[in-house]
Amino acid sequence: MNVLVCISQVPDTTTKITVSPDGKSMNPQGVKFILNPYDEFAIEEGLRIREKFGGTVTTLTVGGESAKEILRTALAMGSDTAAIIKDEERQDSYIVASSIADVARSISPDVILFGRQSIDFDSFAVPSMVAELLGWPNISMVSSLTIEDHSVTAERDIEGGKETIEATLPCVIAAQKGLNDPRYPKLPDIMKAKSKTISEHPKSSAVRRVNVLDMKLPDTKRLNKIFGESDQELDEVVRLLHEEAKII
């Protein structure tokens, strides 16, 4: 069974975001970039599928030269090969999805795994788009996955509960936290991963469908009224919630 795992490089979750001089993107200066946290579950699941059924795991990212770092992490965890589609901007989910679909057509995997969302643009868009472009089924927010013969059974999180979904292979899966416990790469494997080759694929010629006009930091003005724990002060909080915020 051949697996394609698609991962992305994102700013560390604790990053303080500032706006670039262009007014429409994040200023990357001083920002630490990491492997998208949900993608760790996707890589781990890919490795487990290979361990059970044989085959290969290819890890793919779309991004700039520095994104090769996260491919090295995937290689150290056990991915057989790694590939990059060079696209520094990576802002248009349709172009990203088209580029990934092109690679998928050329290597014909049985399963394509993603993290449930990339925590930079948070669009939840690329996995479903890739599935639609390929004419495949997809299951998103997957917290449990069983593959048997050519059928897939998965549990996905929905509001207030879970859905059990069935599909056939080939299939696109987007991994949610809880799917597995990602392994830590071992030091010798980290060293070996440094010298492995990373192949390069061209960016899709698809045309941009959405443009960013500007980027702003949110207006986080809060009332910041601070109280103590005395009865009188709690009475005042309840009064304000009732009369000022009109929430109770």
Partner 1 sequence: MNILVYLETSPNGLKRSSSEALTAARALAGGSHITGIMFNGTPAAFNAAGEYGLQRCLNINDKIIEQFSNGLAAIAISDAAHAIGAKIVILSATATGKDIAPRIAVRLQAGLLADCVELIPSGDSVEAVRPIYAGKALIRVKPETAVVVATLRPNVFTARKTERTTVAVEAFSFASDKDVRTSVVVSTSQNMGTIDVAEADVIVSGGRGLKGPENFHLIEELARSLGAAVGASRAVVDAGWRPHREQVGQTGKTVAPSMYVACGISGAVQHLAGMSTSKVIVAINKDKEAPIFKVADYGIVGDVFEVLPKLTSKISAVTGRH
Helix axes 126-134, 93-107, angle to 10 degrees: 50
Compute the least distance from the CB of residue 105 to partner 1, in Å. 15
CA dihedral 6, 178, 54, 190 (to 10 degrees): 60
Q: Pick from 22, 51, 88, 166: which binds partner 1 (CB under 8 A)?
A: 166
Residues 107-126 that bind partner 1 (CB under 8 A): 119-126
| Cβ–Cβ < 8 Å for 196, 190 | no
In the bound complex, what is the minimum distance in angstroms from residue 49's beta carbon to partner 1? 17
Closest distance of CB 158 from partner 1, Å:
4
- CA distance to 97, 200, 219, per residue, from 244 (Å): 47, 58, 20
CA dist 183 and 44 (Å) reads: 7
**Which amino acid, 148?**
E
Choose between 75 and 145: whose C-beta lies nearer to partner 1.
145
**CA 164 vs CA 33, 106, 121, 142, 143: distances in Å:** 35, 31, 28, 10, 10
- Contact flags string 173-192 toward partner 1, x per CB under 8 A: ----xx--------------
Task: Reduce the DSSP state of residue 167 to 3 states and report it.
Answer: strand
Q: Compute the least distance from the CB of residue 166 to partner 1, in Å.
A: 5
Q: Between 35 and 133, whose beta carbon lies closer to partner 1?
A: 133
Contact with partner 1 (CB under 8 A): which of 30, 54, 188, 218? 218
Interface mask toward partner 1 for 47-86; x: CB under 8 A:
----------------------------------------
Residue 146 near residue 154, CB atoms below 8 Å: yes
Site residues (CB under 8 A) for partner 1, limited to 13-32: 13-17, 19, 24, 26
In the three-class reduction of DSSP (H, G, I as helix; E, B as strand; rest coil), residue 203 is classed as coil
Least distance from C-beta 135 to partner 1, angstroms?
A: 7
What minimum distance in Å lies between the beta carbon of 214 and partner 1? 5
57-63/81-86 β-pairing: parallel
163 vs 189, which CB is nearer to partner 1?
163
Q: How far is the CB of 39 from partner 1 (least distance, A)?
A: 12
Asked if residue 38 lies in contact with residue 173, where contact means CB atoms within 8 angstroms, the answer is no
Query: Can you say whether the dihedral through the CA atoms of 87, 67, 75, 133 is positive or negative?
Result: negative
Alpha-carbon span 92 to 123, nearest angstrom:
10
Applying CB under 8 A, which of residues 35, 76, 97, 104 lies at the interface with partner 1? Answer: 97
46 vs 170, which CB is nearer to partner 1?
170
First to last CA, the chain: 56
In the chain, the amino acid numbered 65 is: E
**Residue whose CB is less far from partner 1, 194 or 225:** 225
Query: Binding marks (x or -) toward partner 1, 123..162, rule CB under 8 A?
Result: xxxxxxx-xxx-xxxxxxx-x--------xx--xxxxxxx
